[in-house]
Amino acid sequence: MLDPKLVRTRPVEVAEQLKRRGFQLDVSLVESLESRRKEIQVRTQQLQNERKVGSKKFGQLKAKGEDISELKAEMDRLAEEVKKAEAELNEVQAQWQDLMLGVPNIPHESVPEGETEDDNEEIRRWGEPKQLSFEPKDHEALAEKQGWMDFNSAAKLTGSRFIVLRGPIAKLHRALTQFMMNTHANEHDYEEIYVPYIVNDDTLKGTGQLPKFGEDLFKIEHDPDSGKDYYLIPTAEVPVTNMVRDEIVDADQLPMRFVCHSPCFRSEAGSAGRDTRGMIRQHQFDKVELLHIVKPDESFAALEELIGNAEKILQLLELPYRVVSLCGGDLGFGATKTYDIEVWLPGQNKYREISSCSNTLDFQARRMQARWRNPETGKPELLHTLNGSGLAVGRTLIAVLENYQDETGRVHIPKVLQPYMGGLEVIE
């Protein structure tokens, strides 16, 4: 959530900044709600002052034994007026809260101008796509024929956009997960963490998925004990980041760096017809997520470190990739700046996203009331939160299959993964 004071006092400036990401802030609504809030607040304070004066007079008259019936009637009227004014104020504040929950983060000044992914700015490349002497197959053609990817069984068990992995591919999927987790925990100094895969609506509001993106979630009807709705997590970012919700963290606990492997569940609402073949866009997939929770002056340095940690996985796997800075129109809801890593897929003859690393500044922290105590002032201040994939396991599996295939349809195992595969060098 943006700073309400900023939006109230400089709505036109905020609206101009949000245009960079294609969002139209209703300035007239902001000004109308703020005007009403001020008016009702002034009226409420006046009525409360009148009640205070009346209460004092009431006590004095009663002590003297004088007639208080007329004053009592006036006090009752004031009490009713205060009640109405407070209800009006609560209604305006609720409208303001609803408005603010739907406003995205402001793009950082370094974010490229643009409306779609075509306007994203390439930052760097690593590795050169292999020049294959044969027509490369895509991952589906490589694996489904062998029965390693079983879409039919998944459709029978659940429905479309799910998959059953079998045999060596299931083992390779597990090997990739363990390799990523070990690298980040042992070499990049992240704390490994395990979290619930089901969360409540407050948790999803904290990181910005609710209320705006409810249709993208898998909802479980309410828990009979608490009365709350439950949801399957769309990413481990949601539960891990919310661990600091409503907390005041000591400065010596920062920075916090977490790595978490989890399945991710997404309804993919509005993506009909996009990447329906193979494993590119699934309703359920695994991801190794990296989270940084830091002091405000450290967040952009943390973003560079985060993207570097994610890139290291691809470098160790010797998979060519490029890093792009997302333009304003392609930014996620809570991000002020995002880098995407796109890995080379020979079967598609193009780079495809395998990781997004974002700095949200205090956007999520304000929604969660996640703070740290600044030792210089002794006062609580909002934290900054960052998240990124390190990496999406399924897409990394795809990249390994397509980049390490040979003309016979065999898949060679990257050297760093062979210890996790029991020494297996080739899948055939």
Q: Is residue 8 annotated as part of the catalytic site, yes or no?
A: no
Residue 64: the pLDDT is 67
198 marked among binding-site residues: no
Buried b (16+ CB within 10 A) or exposed e, 322-341: bbbbbbbbbbbbbbbbbbbb
Among the residues of 131-182, which ranges form H helices?
139-144, 151-157, 167-182
**Cis preceding linkage at 239, omega within 30:** no
80 marked among binding-site residues: no
| Domain chopping of the chain, boundaries | 4-102, 117-427
Residue 71: the pLDDT is 67
Distance CA 49, CA 67 (A): 22
262 marked among binding-site residues: no
Q: Is residue 77 annotated as part of the catalytic site, yes or no?
A: no
Maximum Cα interatomic distance, the chain, rounded to a whole number of Å = 107
The answer as to CATH 3.40.50.1110 being correct for domain 117-427 is no
Residue 270: the pLDDT is 58
CB burial class (10 A; 0-12, 13-18, 19+) of residue 18? buried
Exactly one of 20, 257, 367, 395 is catalytic; name it.
Answer: 395
Q: Is residue 356 annotated as part of the catalytic site, yes or no?
A: yes
Distance CA 160, CA 149 (A): 13
Exactly one of 311, 356, 358, 367 is catalytic; name it.
Answer: 356
The strand ranges marked E within 326-410 are 337-345, 350-359, 371-373, 380-382, 384-392
HSE-up of 379 (CA within 13 Å, CB side)? 3
Residue 81: the pLDDT is 84
Residue 63: the pLDDT is 66
353 marked among binding-site residues: yes
* Identical fold, 4-102 and 117-427: no
Q: Is residue 352 annotated as part of the catalytic site, yes or no?
A: no
Residue 278: the pLDDT is 78
Q: Could you tell me which residues are beta bridge partners of residue 220? A: 230
Q: Is residue 353 annotated as part of the catalytic site, yes or no?
A: yes
125 marked among binding-site residues: no
Q: What's the full length of the chain, in residues?
A: 428
HSE-up of 341 (CA within 13 Å, CB side)? 30
Residue 268: the pLDDT is 80
Radius of gyration of the chain from Cα atoms? 27
HSE-up of 371 (CA within 13 Å, CB side)? 12
Residue 147: the pLDDT is 83
Over the stretch 390-417, which tens digit does the pLDDT of each residue have? 999 999 999 999 999 999 999 999 999 9
268 marked among binding-site residues: yes
Q: Which CATH architecture has domain 4-102?
A: Orthogonal Bundle (1.10)
Could you tell me which residues come within 8 angstroms of residue 267 by beta carbon, excluding any fewer than 6 positions away? 215, 216, 217, 218, 283
Exactly one of 20, 21, 257, 266 is catalytic; name it.
Answer: 266
Spans in the chain with pLDDT lower than 70: 51, 54, 57-68, 71, 223, 269-277
Residue 275: the pLDDT is 65
- The residue among 84, 81, 104, 79 whose CA lies nearest residue 18 is 104
318 marked among binding-site residues: no
389 marked among binding-site residues: yes
Exactly one of 74, 353, 373, 381 is catalytic; name it.
Answer: 353
Residue 190: the pLDDT is 98
